[in-house]
Structure 1
């Protein structure tokens, strides 16, 4: 059975992973390394369940939408900006290929870019500051 929530997240993950250097880790829904093994900066894609779109008088035609949060973490604000810029460039206005679905362009929300913030409660394993920021990527698709 197709799972469009996971399909959307995996398609976006693959696009971001391909756009970033190998020494930048990209995670999907969890960070699976011990603190001592983390490489900085890194990105985490946090998928959300689909919203089912009703856009006609005939009802539901299989259209779904997801809004995925992409969090960048680094030891400087510049590291966070760099990985989020690259993720945004890898996704914005790109049409992913998902078997069994017809996808629209991915749209990165420009109006939801918050400031880069320092984590006041946590430090890296070796005592450096941790900065984070995030963007949102929206993807709509229908049954093919």
Structure 2
């Protein structure tokens, strides 16, 4: 099992949207960064655990945990001209963008804020705390996962 952090704007797709789905499962789609796409396509796998991070909102931070229940597949939104994520250069034979499906594991009682994450001396290498690092999908080491999960549950 690997660990990840996925960012989303909660007014577009937040952990509450996932919690309100009957099976608490949804595609993680609309990723339009090549490095993040490569993670989704090549590295994120079934059973991997993911921190669900709320970005571009009043309280940015980790809101909970999801699990990967379907590994990388061609993001259908790239083929839909009505979608905000449509890509006219993509084809079904040569998709450019990938999705995974996530299932809610746990909503935290409170957001683990970016401020608190940055204040922890054990979290220095995580892309989230590095200046200029804006990826929406990023790996998390086992040790970082343990520290962050412990902070969220404290």
Q: TM-score, normalised by structure 2?
A: 0.30
Rg larger for:
1
Which gives a bigger RCO, structure 1 or 2 (Cα 8 Å, sep 6+)?
Answer: 2
Greater share of strand: 1
